[in-house]
């Protein structure tokens, strides 16, 4: 298959939905010889918020240490290949197409067809192996205990802040969700956690005790270093990244950490893509609260025009309750994914006393309307929306996905 055909096939496997469990991933990793090579270290990152930023920081600092690093994250913003990077470079189209062709052949002869996420993970792992990666950074897709990434043996496990998200899959309390995240712990391997709510912390401590995984909590943010990402929360993410790399035994020095954090690139997280146009993938109440805090810190006197969209199964009312007070007006639009929520349903989630709102058929119409006002523009509510906006504003080709 050529690249476009390969991507079309891969995205078609999303019809198999989400299947939590490790057996399918293990079978495919074994069939495609994609387990990490001997001596390759794996840092596995779970949590609700800040996973991607923390993974990107770990990767960037590891590269500053001279390590050949593989980075696996999801979802992508514009191009699928963003999910699979070696030393900061996306997997080339020709390699991606060739390997997906092989994976298609393997998948179609398996009794249970692998899911989109399983195939993507195994593609990444095989590419990392072929590239001779010395360190692999894996971001969980959802949860941890039954997430496909947990099929890959980890050397260091990392937990970012835990909040209420994906509750239809992971449970309806912080404690239940924390138990799913703690499922990545490996016996005898270090586990590092961000500060957590008391209920989540207790669950993590219990699971660490049961699995005999030495667990430590980061107690202070990393201060005094230049960060390429805005917001106080990123200082906590940086502290978590440094602690994870220290646990992995990398030779960290001040100048290495400084260089790695200053050279970090992680789009769509409070990113000023154009003067006065900010993109942020705040997709749950916790991340919305962080966005609101960062906005008030960066633009204390400004109320933006908020362009908002969200996907199904999110706490849309909870997100809007936090973001609406920031805005001068709110422009609602769908996002280009099968999971989109129509503007009329978004409007029904607006809190009492919300600023004036408008409803638009697509992002471009909403952005065109936003440009008629003098306020800065904030695009938030879904990473899918941020990806669509970023593609439009940079001239990229947005690859719509359901996962």
Query: CA 277, CA 306: separation in Å to the nearest integer?
Result: 10
CB-count exposure of residue 199 (10 Å: 0-12, 13-18, 19+): middle
Contact between 109 and 23 under an 8 Å Cβ cutoff? The reply is: no
What residue has token string 């660490």?
Answer: 208
Please provide the average confidence, as pLDDT, over all residues in the chain: 95
Mean pLDDT to the nearest integer, 244-254 = 96
The yes-or-no verdict on residue 278 having pLDDT over 90 is yes
3-state secondary structure of 180: helix
Contact between 273 and 386 under an 8 Å Cβ cutoff? The reply is: no
Q: Residue 354 — very low, low, confident or very high, per pLDDT cuts 50/70/90?
A: very high
Mean pLDDT to the nearest integer, 209-213 = 97
Contact between 376 and 383 under an 8 Å Cβ cutoff? The reply is: no
Q: In sequence order, what DSSP letters do the residues of 29-57 get, joined into one string?
A: HHHTT-SPPTT-EEEEEE-SSSHHHHHHH
Q: pLDDT tens digit string along 59-70?
A: 999 999 999 999
Task: Set out the domains of the chain in order of their start, with CATH numbers.
Answer: 3-262 (3.40.1190.10), 271-394 (3.90.190.20)
359: which strand partners?
332
Element (H, E) at 219: none
Query: CA 45, CA 200: separation in Å to the nearest integer?
Result: 16
CA nearest neighbour of 246 among 128, 140, 158, 138:
158
Phi, psi at 402, each rounded to 5°: -95, -10
Q: Residue 123 — very low, low, confident or very high, per pLDDT cuts 50/70/90?
A: very high
End-to-end CA distance of the chain: 22
332: which strand partners?
308, 359
Residues of 292-323 as b/e, b for ≥16 C-beta within 10 angstroms? Answer: bebbeeebeeebbbbbbbbbeebbbebbbbbb
CA nearest neighbour of 85 among 37, 38, 138:
138
Q: Residue 172 — very low, low, confident or very high, per pLDDT cuts 50/70/90?
A: confident
Q: pLDDT tens digit string along 181-199?
A: 999 999 999 999 999 999 9
For 403, the token pair is 């996962």
Q: pLDDT tens digit string along 50-93?
A: 999 999 999 999 999 999 999 999 999 999 999 999 999 999 99
Q: Residue 216 — very low, low, confident or very high, per pLDDT cuts 50/70/90?
A: very high
Strand 377-380 to strand 277-280: parallel, antiparallel, or no bridges (unpaired)?
parallel
């Amino acid at each position: 298959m050529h690249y476009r055909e390969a991507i079309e096939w891969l995205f078609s496997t999303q019809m198999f939905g989400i299947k939590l469990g490790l057996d399918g991933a293990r079978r495919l990793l074994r069939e495609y010889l994609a387990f990490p090579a001997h001596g390759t270290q794996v840092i596995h990152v779970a949590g609700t918020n800040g996973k991607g930023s923390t993974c990107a920081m770990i990767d960037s600092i590891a590269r500053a240490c001279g390590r050949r690093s593989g980075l696996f994250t999801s979802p992508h913003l514009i191009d699928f290949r963003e999910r699979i990077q070696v030393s900061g470079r996306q997997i080339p189209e020709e390699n991606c197409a060739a390997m997906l062709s092989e994976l298609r052949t393997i998948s179609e002869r398996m009794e249970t067809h692998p899911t989109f996420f399983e195939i993507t993970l195994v593609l990444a792992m095989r590419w990392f192996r072929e590239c001779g990666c010395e360190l692999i950074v894996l971001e969980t897709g959802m949860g941890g205990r039954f997430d496909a990434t947990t099929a890959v043996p980890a050397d260091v496990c990392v937990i970012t802040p835990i909040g209420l998200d994906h509750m239809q899959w992971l449970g309806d309390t912080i404690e239940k969700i924390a138990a799913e995240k703690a499922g990545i712990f490996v016996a005898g391997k270090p586990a590092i956690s961000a500060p957590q709510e008391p209920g989540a912390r207790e669950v993590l401590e219990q699971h660490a005790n049961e699995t005999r995984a030495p667990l430590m909590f980061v107690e202070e943010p990393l201060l005094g270093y230049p960060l390429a990402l805005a917001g106080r929360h990123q200082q906590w993410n940086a502290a978590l990244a440094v602690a994870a790399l220290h646990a992995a035994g990398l030779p960290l020095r001040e100048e290495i950490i400084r260089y790695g954090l200053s050279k970090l690139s992680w789009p769509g997280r409070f990113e000023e893509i154009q003067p006065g146009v900010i993109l942020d993938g705040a997709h749950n109440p916790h991340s919305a609260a962080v966005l609101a805090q960062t906005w008030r810190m960066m633009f204390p006197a400004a109320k933006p025009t908020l362009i908002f969209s969200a996907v199904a199964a999110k706490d849309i009312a909870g997100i809007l309750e936090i973001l609406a007070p920031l805005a001068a007006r709110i422009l609602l639009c769908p996002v280009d994914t099968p999971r989109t929520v129509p503007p009329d349903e978004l409007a029904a989630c607006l809190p009492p006393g919300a600023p004036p709102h408008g409803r638009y058929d697509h992002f471009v119409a909403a952005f065109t309307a936003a440009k008629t006002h003098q306020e800065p523009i904030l695009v938030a509510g879904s990473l899918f929306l941020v990806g669509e906006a970023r593609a439009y504003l940079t001239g990229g080709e947005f690859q719509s996905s359901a996962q």
